[in-house]
Structure 1
Amino acid sequence: MADEGDILTDLDAAQNNGANGADNQPVAGIVSQYVKDLSVENPNAPESFRWDQQPQIDLQFNIAARPLEGETHEVELKVNVTAKSDRGNVYLVELSYCAVVGMRNLPEEQGHMFLYAEAPRLLFPFARRVLSDATRDAGFAPLVLDPIDFNGLYVQQMQQRQAQGGDPGAMSIPGSEN
């Protein structure tokens, strides 16, 4: 992996070319993205291919961020999907989809929001494709997830934490059952 100076080249170019107006303007972006971990379990195959009951889908998200070097952070979007029927688990998929994020001259509050709301919003379409491909490759119909309002969920979680007097750390966003 490139060092921090190389990683922020695109951010430097945008800032130096006046893309954000003047020097020292806030700039943030995705430097790279990748699958950090992917696990697909098809525990009852081949019998589960003949089950005619529509499985119940349990979908869970978790967002975490950690500083790397200098102005870079790693954002992790974890997605766990469990498809169950009365006969047992149909499939289980665990995905950790990550990005290296570069940020410069961002106030702390805006940086936090970028890490926990905007970066996951940018990563989600790619993670959704990985999940769809994984379920298809496991022998099932591709799982196509609806878009998620990460910004709205972020605001909701921050309001809850303020009301409880809590500290904004890793975000855990409850999934939905289909």
Structure 2
Amino acid sequence: MANPTNGGQHADQAAMPQLNVLAQYVKDFSFENPNAPRSLQPSNQQPQINIQINVNATPLQQSDFEIDLKIEGKAEIGSTLLFAFDLVYGGVFRIQNVPQDSIHPVLMIECPRLLFPFAREIIASAVRNGGFPPLYIDPVDFVGLYRQKLAEQAAAQQQPS
């Protein structure tokens, strides 16, 4: 028989940490192919690809947060720009029963980890639709990115004004 105190869930299940995706969406996106059709001609040189990734979290309500995964990139051969893109892929997440000191790592590591495959596919499709082979960005180490940002913040706080 179901436990009537919690809609059929056991009391210990109700207190388990939860991370729910309430929505995900393209917030901003641009793709540039400024030198087409010249940039689409075969080349013996491999393009230099540069990609930057940032994560931002914005509280919406007590347990709801918006996460923006920003991915910027460009491909060049020498000084010739082949293509450039800028994507902000967002998600709204609900976090419940997570200790306060663990919320920030969940927001900055787990939430973007859930968004990344969708953002990666949008970029790959845009690059392919721009006339190039699809660009499949390697998986991102969001733990390493989080630690790097913490180290940068700590170093900035130690700098004299």
Q: TM-score band, normalised by the shorter chain?
A: 0.7 to 0.9
Displacement of 1:20 in angstroms is 8.4
Deviations along 1:112-133, one digit per CA (max 9) or x if unpaired, are 0111011011111111111100
Paired residue secondary structure (2:104): helix
Structure 1 unaligned residues grouped into runs of 5+? 1-14, 167-178
Structure 1 vs Structure 2 CA RMSD: 2.3
Give aligned pairs, total: 152
* Structure whose alpha-carbon radius of gyration is higher: 2
Instruction: Kindly indicate whether residue 141 of structure 2 is the aligned counterpart of residue 149 of structure 1.
Output: yes
Task: Between the two structures, name the one with larger relative contact order (CA 8 Å, sep ≥ 6).
Answer: 1
TM-score for both structures, normalised by structure 1: 0.76
Determine the structure 1 residue equivalent to 2:41. Answer: 50
Q: Which residue of 32, 40, 49 corresponds with 2:31?
A: 40
Paired residue secondary structure (2:35): coil
- 4+ residue stretches of structure 1 with deviation over 6 A? none
User: Hey, what's the Cα distance between the residues in 2 that align with 1:100 and 1:37?
Assistant: 15
Determine the structure 2 residue equivalent to 1:140. Answer: 132
Q: 1:51/1:112 Cα in 2 relative to 1: closer, same or farther (>3 Å)?
A: same
User: Hey, what's the Cα distance between the residues in 2 that align with 1:134 and 1:99?
Assistant: 20
113-122 or 146-155: bigger deviation = 146-155
Instruction: Kindly indicate whether residue 67 of structure 2 is the aligned counterpart of residue 67 of structure 1.
Output: no
Q: How does 1:89-104 map to 2 (within 5 A)?
A: 89-104=81-96
142-151 or 89-98: bigger deviation = 142-151
Instruction: Kindly indicate whether residue 88 of structure 2 is the aligned counterpart of residue 130 of structure 1.
Output: no
Displacement of 1:145 in angstroms is 1.1
User: Hey, what's the Cα distance between the residues in 2 that align with 1:76 and 1:44?
Assistant: 30
User: Hey, what's the Cα distance between the residues in 2 that align with 1:20 and 1:147?
Assistant: 37
Paired residue secondary structure (1:143): coil
- Maintained 8 Å contact 1:20/1:27: no
Q: 1:63/1:17 Cα in 2 relative to 1: closer, same or farther (>3 Å)?
A: farther
- One-letter code aligned to 1:111: I
User: Hey, what's the Cα distance between the residues in 2 that align with 1:86 and 1:136?
Assistant: 21
